[in-house]
């Protein structure tokens, strides 16, 4: 069947039925898809966290490099990652779709399957959105609402000199995978997974926030240098990063051994979706007791703003590390 035969309302009804069949309960949904507004509620004492992402075919993704189900899941994960970065739990999702007239209904269904499965995995429910025809590429707008206890929200602005800098997981895998896709080289499964199926670090973000350990936190979407730069700007501090401490996967280390210039991808590559956070020295011992599904690594120290962002190599030599994250409005 073609989307044109189903029509906009047929398509929305299809989504509504799929949500009804899969949605997690307990997300505070009084009224979901099908009325003029969704009606939702927050647990008592919690504040609302809201974030929006816009994803456009050929800019953020290529359907040739992924399948539609995987892409639907990634659209959820990258959005939920922002809630994780504040220490929150995702609850509600809103989805706007600009759909090319020639897109097959089977592909749309696969995209929605992946989207709703990922939403359910994160305990979030799709409660609204909009669809229209796109004269060009597929456009996906995802808004997430999350919640966190009011005194446990972690912003970017609280880092102080002397705090330790930590990051979860490994850096650069997604950017390395993207480079291989762009050059048409074969891609090992673990690297492909890191690029196509990123995991938002919700459990880690919650655990850190609940223990009130981070002074500042952000998710790594534009590369560790650029995203650390956002913390430094918001906190009016500098940082010294230890290059030998950067957590790298076995696949990344192997590639790096063949091509040392790839280190750039660990520093400036995007889409890691790991959590980058600062912890006051006196709270560092408490990190060991944290129960998390992903390793964390100390990669540096917060210093005074005047010193800027410095990168120390294995000999301890320092160089200024200007953040060169992805910027949509530059080339």
Which span sits near Mg ion by CB under 5 A: 76-84, 156-164, 167-175, 263-271? 76-84
* Calpha distance 113→214 (Å, rounded): 35
H or E element at residue 28: none
Q: How many residues bind Mg ion (CB under 5 A)?
A: 2
Sign of CA dihedral 15, 18, 23, 28: positive
Give the residues across from 275 on adjacent strands: 219
Give me the least distance between CB of 82 and Mg ion, in Å please. 4
Q: Measured between alpha carbons, how far is 307 from 325 in angstroms, rounded to an integer?
A: 20
**Alpha-carbon torsion 322, 326, 330, 331, what sign?**
positive
Q: Cβ closer to Mg ion: 82 or 272?
A: 82
Q: 134 forms bridges with which residues in the sheet?
A: 100
Closest distance of CB 9 from Mg ion, Å: 34
- Choose between 61 and 273: whose C-beta lies nearer to Mg ion: 273
Q: Which stretch binds Mg ion (CB under 5 A): 55-63, 74-82, 117-125, 295-303?
A: 74-82
Rounded to an integer, what distance in angstroms lies between the CA atom of residue 63 and that of residue 57?
A: 8
By CB under 5 A, residue 271 contacts Mg ion: no
- State whether residue 273 is helix, strand or coil: coil
Instruction: Tell whether residue 242 is a contact of Mg ion (CB under 5 A).
Output: no
Interface residue with Mg ion among 57, 82, 109, 173 (CB under 5 A) is: 82
Taking the C-alpha atoms of residue 158 and residue 209, their distance in angstroms, rounded to an integer, is: 13
Q: Kindly identify the residues of this chain, within the stretch 176-205, that bind Mg ion according to CB under 5 A.
A: none
Closer residue to Mg ion in complex, CB, 32/325 = 325
Cα–Cα distances in Å, from 128 out to 15, 18, 23, 54, 114?
A: 10, 13, 13, 16, 17
* Between 32 and 87, CB nearer to Mg ion: 87
Task: Pick the stretch among 3-11, 77-85, 133-141, 169-177 that binds Mg ion (CB under 5 A).
Answer: 77-85
Q: Is 222 in the site for Mg ion (CB under 5 A)?
A: no
Q: Is 219 in the site for Mg ion (CB under 5 A)?
A: yes
In the complex, the residues that contact Mg ion under the rule CB under 5 A are 82, 219
């Amino acid at each position: 069947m073609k989307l044109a035969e189903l029509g906009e309302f047929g398509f929305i009804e299809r989504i509504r039925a799929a949500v009804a069949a899969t949605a997690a309960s307990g997300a505070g949904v009084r009224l979901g898809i099908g009325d003029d507004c969704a009606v939702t509620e927050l647990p008592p004492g919690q504040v609302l966290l809201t974030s929006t992402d816009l994803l456009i075919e050929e800019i953020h993704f290529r359907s040739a490099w992924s399948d539609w189900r995987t892409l639907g899941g990634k659209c959820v994960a990258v959005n939920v990652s922002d809630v994780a970065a504040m220490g929150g739990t995702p609850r509600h999702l809103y989805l706007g779709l600009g759909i090319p007239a020639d897109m097959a209904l089977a592909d749309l269904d696969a995209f929605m399957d992946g989207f709703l499965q990922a939403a359910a995995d994160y305990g979030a429910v799709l409660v609204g959105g909009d669809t229209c025809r796109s004269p060009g590429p597929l456009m996906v707008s995802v808004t997430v609402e999350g919640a966190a206890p009011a005194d446990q929200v972690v912003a970017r602005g609280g880092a102080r000199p002397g705090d330790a800098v930590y990051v979860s997981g490994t850096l650069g895998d997604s950017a390395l995978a993207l480079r291989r896709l762009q050059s048409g080289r074969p891609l090992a499964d673990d690297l492909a997974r890191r690029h196509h199926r990123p995991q938002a670090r919700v459990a880690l973000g919650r655990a850190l926030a609940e223990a009130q350990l981070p002074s500042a936190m952000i998710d790594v979407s534009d590369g560790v240098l650029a995203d650390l730069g956002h913390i430094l700007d918001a906190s009016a501090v500098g940082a010294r990063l230890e290059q030998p401490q950067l957590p790298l996967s076995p696949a990344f280390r192997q590639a790096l051994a063949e091509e040392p210039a790839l280190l750039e991808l660990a520093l400036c590559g995007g889409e890691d979706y790991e959590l980058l956070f600062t912890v006051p020295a006196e709270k560092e011992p408490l990190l060991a007791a944290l129960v998390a599904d992903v390793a964390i690594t100390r990669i540096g120290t917060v210093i005074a703003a005047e010193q800027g962002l410095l990168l120390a190599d294995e000999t301890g030599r320092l160089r200024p590390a200007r953040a060169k994250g992805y910027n949509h409005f530059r080339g």
